[in-house]
Chain A
Amino acid sequence: MPSTRDIRRRIKSVKNTAQITKAMQMVASAKMRKAQQSAISGRPYALLMNEVLGAAISGAGDFSHPLMERREIKKRALIIISTDKGLCGGLNTNLLREAFKLPASTTVYITAGRKGSQWVARLRRELLAEFSPKDTPRFEDARAISKFAQELFLSGKVDAVDVVFTNYINTLTQKAELTSLLPLDKIQKLDPDIRGAGIKEELRGITGLDTTFEPSAPNFLGNLLPHYVNFQIFQMLLEAKASEHSARMVAMKSATDNAKQIIKDLTLEYNKLRQANITKELLEITSAAMAMGN
């Protein structure tokens, strides 16, 4: 049976924890709003670029670009976009479960975010490069990752590049997704509601009239394709950030709620014990008085 002092001590420590998680929740929710905003405002661009690219590829006829080349997959690279810190619920667990699906023997890893690197290191898998994008991802961060992946693909060291990231759907829902980045052999139509890789149907180009390219189709696509890959990664970084902050906010909110519940339970127990003690003392006094009186 714990004494009242023990319970008081526990209440105090739980209160402290609640205060910390509450503060973290506030920080996360402020960051979340910003991250969500930038993830959502990037979507029109991603959609339009997707459309333009689809039209360009179908309009260019039997043109082929090295980035579109489809080879037999002997080695594939996986880009893991994870968070740097924990305390965000099951976000990284879900993400890495997705990453785990690819066979270890034929996969090499590129990571963005510390949790991903730790996971690769723990499983003793082959880590090619480690990037650490800032808390608000910039386009340059994405370009660096993308350039590395493209060079890897073009030099023939890997035959495919996939990405696993957390797609932001709303504050309560984030979905870990594994999507193919390279080769760009099939450009798939994006879902207008959910950016990510919400794939609905194969993209069709404009039909009927032939499209003219200025200066030329290879030139246009040669510039557009690498940019498309850069931007894809950028958008994924944004989505991952929005997911991270949302997940952290939700996790911290439930932690605070739990702490409050525990405080409530403990206070009840404390009061019960206190009253029991008082009753016991009263009993002792009265029984002592009665013994004296007789």
Chain B
Amino acid sequence: MATLKLEIVTPEARIFSEDVDMVTLPGSEGEMGIFPMHIPLMTQIVHGEVLARRGGQDFLVAVGEGFVEITADRVAILTDMAIKADDIDEIRAEEARKRAEARLAEKLGDEEQAAVQSALMHSLTQLNLKRRLRH
């Protein structure tokens, strides 16, 4: 059976690079599922979760905003944040969220505002994923 090579890369590291059977990702136009032999597609992703399935096993990765290139045998995701579900540290994410919220209450410049906003979204995405996994 054909497989897809899923690559998730952030400026800090290559988070994920493996052959998988299926990928779902949070596209800007809505959730989408990708199987092998997909037509070439370029789209953007929003904060959310990427699910990769390999042989009945699921991998979840929390991702930030970014770009996706899909070809017949590859899904390449460029994003500013990506953390595997197992690696999420809930306590630290919660702390980061509180810190970001506190910072947002202050008066900030445009650049800083954007940076803090995205830090907040990062921690929220991680927390959401963790919470959903528990239920």
**Residues of B in contact with A, size category:** 20 to 34
Question: Which A residues touch B112, using CB under 8 A?
Answer: 140
Is A52 interfacial (CB 8 A cutoff)? yes
CB-CB under 8 A for A214 and B41, given A48-B7, A48-B76, A140-B111: yes
In A162-176, which residues have CB < 8 Å from any B CB? none
In A227-253, which residues have CB < 8 Å from any B CB? 227, 231, 234
What is the distance, in angstroms, from A204's C-beta to the closest C-beta of chain B?
Answer: 14
Question: Which A residues touch B67, using CB under 8 A?
Answer: 49, 52, 220, 223-224, 227
Is B10 interfacial (CB 8 A cutoff)? yes
Is B3 interfacial (CB 8 A cutoff)? no
Q: What total count of A-B pairs have CB within 8 Å?
A: 80
Is A89 interfacial (CB 8 A cutoff)? no
Is B43 interfacial (CB 8 A cutoff)? yes
| The residue from B12, B43, B80, B111 contacting A213, defined by CB atoms under 8 A apart | B43
Is B91 interfacial (CB 8 A cutoff)? no
| The residue from A49, A139, A143, A212 contacting B41, defined by CB atoms under 8 A apart | A212
Please measure, in the bound complex, the distance between the C-alpha atom of A18 and the C-alpha atom of B111, giving whole angstroms: 43
B29 contacts A214, C-beta separation under 8 Å: yes
**Residues of A in contact with B, size category:** 20 to 34
Please measure, in the bound complex, the distance between the C-alpha atom of A217 and the C-alpha atom of B40, giving whole angstroms: 13
Please measure, in the bound complex, the distance between the C-alpha atom of A215 and the C-alpha atom of B45, giving whole angstroms: 11
Is B115 interfacial (CB 8 A cutoff)? yes
Contact flags (1/0) for A28-54 with B, using CB distance below 8 Å? 000000000010011011001101100
Q: Which of A56, A139, A140, A217 has the most CB atoms of chain B within a 10 A radius of its CB?
A: A140
B42 contacts A234, C-beta separation under 8 Å: no
B44 contacts A44, C-beta separation under 8 Å: no
Is B39 interfacial (CB 8 A cutoff)? yes
A52 contacts B78, C-beta separation under 8 Å: yes
Is A73 interfacial (CB 8 A cutoff)? no
Q: Which of B9, B43, B115 has the most CB atoms of chain A within a 10 A radius of its CB?
A: B9
Please measure, in the bound complex, the distance between the C-alpha atom of A163 and the C-alpha atom of B93, giving whole angstroms: 37
**Could you pull out 28 A-B pairs where Cβ atoms are within 8 angstroms?**
A42-B11, A44-B13, A48-B7, A48-B9, A51-B69, A52-B42, A55-B40, A59-B42, A139-B80, A140-B112, A206-B40, A206-B71, A209-B40, A210-B40, A211-B40, A213-B41, A214-B28, A214-B29, A214-B41, A214-B43, A215-B29, A215-B43, A220-B43, A220-B67, A223-B44, A224-B67, A231-B11, A234-B11
